[in-house]
Amino acid sequence: MVAALASGILAVVGPPPNGPFGVPLIVPVLLAAAFAARVLPGRIGAGIGLLAVVIAVAAAIRFLGADLVGDRSVVEVAVGLVQFAGLGAAAYAAVRQLIARRSDAEGRSHDASRPAQIIGLLGMCAIGAELLAAYDDSTGDPGAVAFALIFFGALYGAPALLARDLVRRCGWGWPSLLLLFAALGTAQACLIDQSMFSVDYQGYEGWQETRQATLIPALGIGATNAYNFIVGHVIYSFAAPVALAEAWVPRRARQPWLGPIGTVVAVLAYGGAAALILSDPESRSGTPPQLAVSAGMVAAFIAAAALIGRRRASGSHRTTEFAGRLPVGPVFAIALLAAVIPALSSEGWGGVLVSLAVTGGFGIAILVTARTRGWSLRHSAVVAFAFLLVRGLLAFTYFPLIGDVAPVPKYAHNTILILVVVATGWLAVRRGAGDGRKEAAHGS
């Protein structure tokens, strides 16, 4: 309510609009969310309220970003800060409501390794999503890399944490988690940076040629980009880092990691990073129909995740006597092939079809294997390690697509990040062997 009131005041005290005065859309959204949180039962109302807060945070941070360059009056800045404080309080209340009924079995471990595990996941999301590929002019620049770790940790790591905690709290499985990651990947490529619809995003070398090779005129996108962006985000930005991080401390793999404060911080970090991307004119390539369809796809992925997850949670967890007998060596080798083939495929339609077939086939094979032979944290870690390793090794074969980076810092960057992947992958595979539960349901 406070945030909605502040948003309304901003419409009054802010600069006069070019057209007739109107109430900002965020005001009725927040009011409706406050009503829903008050009337609807428990977690349903709290979930609606938290979703409204995420939407409002992006708008609030864009407002504060304009204030920093002196475009707003002191009164507007003050009201904007009140609005932001109200959003933080609303997020905190919603999160407390969401997790209020968790059982003792879901209790969080308070040892010192939990913060390290969370920070490690944030860093690996940034590395897997952006830094490991070494495709831009931040490659080899220590200051730029340090900033990227923080910024992309917020942009990719924070939502990965939120999605993972939701799945673990609700007792869902990896299929639901992957669908939520698909929703996040679609949101990133189509709604946040909107690179999916860009003709020449940020001036990257070869962008236009890649897009044109598999252009679908009716949709205004290239099929190669659609695969690379959405599937790439699912694997490298979210799933692989989460699989490694869970295997680092097996006893917490099926527990939520964030409390109310941590969840609020993650929501604000994600909203802030997304808002900064949206403020870039290069991130406004989508047309209203394209954005509407993209939002519908995000909603469909989330709905599918909930549907599949509830079906799984309502059934019994199956265990199998074969769990743990599946050797990790062949899994690692097959995962390497599944990562290499799409990466080396052509950028034409043939390459897209091959990539879809290989990735889809590998995913189905994991699902079937998990339900019939058993699947442990170690197997998940091995697959994640293989994909990240291939991404890092292939980065040695090309120079950044934008900017002028000298060979020494470029190869130093590649080498250091490969060592990070090897170290975190080795740790995950080694500690994942201690996953005593080895449930087949872990992968189903």
Is residue 220 in a domain?
yes
Co-location of 335 and 394 in the same domain? yes
CA–CA distance, 440 with 442 (Å, rounded to integer): 5
First to last CA, the chain: 41
Both structure tokens of 308: 């599949």
Tell me the sheet residues that pair with 215. Answer: 222
Co-location of 190 and 330 in the same domain? yes
Co-location of 79 and 124 in the same domain? no
Co-location of 200 and 275 in the same domain? yes
- Structure confidence at residue 432 (pLDDT): 75
Co-location of 124 and 88 in the same domain? no
Per-residue pLDDT of the chain (444 residues; tens, 9 = 90+): 555 555 555 554 455 444 443 445 555 666 666 655 655 556 666 666 667 667 666 655 555 544 444 455 555 556 566 666 666 676 666 666 666 554 444 444 456 688 999 999 999 999 999 999 999 889 999 999 999 999 999 999 999 999 999 999 999 999 999 999 999 999 999 999 999 998 888 778 788 888 899 999 999 999 999 999 999 999 999 999 999 999 999 999 999 999 999 999 999 999 999 999 988 887 788 899 999 999 999 999 999 999 999 887 776 445 444 444 688 899 999 999 999 999 999 889 999 999 999 999 999 999 888 887 778 899 999 999 999 999 999 999 999 888 889 999 999 999 999 999 999 999 999 887 766 444 444 444
Co-location of 137 and 43 in the same domain? no
CA–CA distance, 355 with 335 (Å, rounded to integer): 13
Is residue 89 in a domain?
yes
CB 326 within 8 A of CB 374: yes
Percent of the chain with pLDDT over 70: 70
For the stretch 34-63, pLDDT in tens is 655 655 556 666 666 667 667 666 655 555
Is residue 195 in a domain?
yes
Co-location of 316 and 381 in the same domain? yes
CA–CA distance, 342 with 386 (Å, rounded to integer): 14
Co-location of 33 and 177 in the same domain? no
Co-location of 96 and 3 in the same domain? yes
Both structure tokens of 367: 């699902």
CA 295 to chain centre: 16
Is residue 108 in a domain?
no
Buried b (16+ CB within 10 A) or exposed e, 280-291: eeebebbeeebb
Q: Which of residues 101, 135, 152 is at a domain's end?
A: 101
* DSSP output for 55-121: HHHHHHHHHHHHHHTT-S-HHHHHHHHHHHHHHHHHHHHHHHHHHTT--GGGPPP-STHHHHHHHHH
Is residue 299 in a domain?
yes
Provide CB contacts within 8 A for 68, sequence distance 6+.
none
Tell me the sheet residues that pair with 216. Answer: 221
DSSP 137: T
Range of the domain at 138: 115-443
Q: Which of residues 101, 128, 149 is at a domain's end?
A: 101
Co-location of 95 and 33 in the same domain? yes
For the stretch 233-256, pLDDT in tens is 999 999 999 999 999 999 999 999
Co-location of 224 and 95 in the same domain? no
Q: Which of residues 49, 72, 101 is at a domain's end?
A: 101
Burial class, 182, CB count within 10 angstroms (exposed 0-12 / middle 13-18 / buried 19+): buried
428, 441, 397, 119: which is closest to 249 by C-alpha? 428
The pTM assigned to this predicted structure is 0.75
Co-location of 89 and 122 in the same domain? no
115, 129, 127: which is closest to 265 by C-alpha? 115
Is residue 164 in a domain?
yes
- Structure confidence at residue 38 (pLDDT): 58
Is residue 106 in a domain?
no
CA–CA distance, 186 with 237 (Å, rounded to integer): 12
| Total structural domains within the chain | 2
Is residue 65 in a domain?
yes
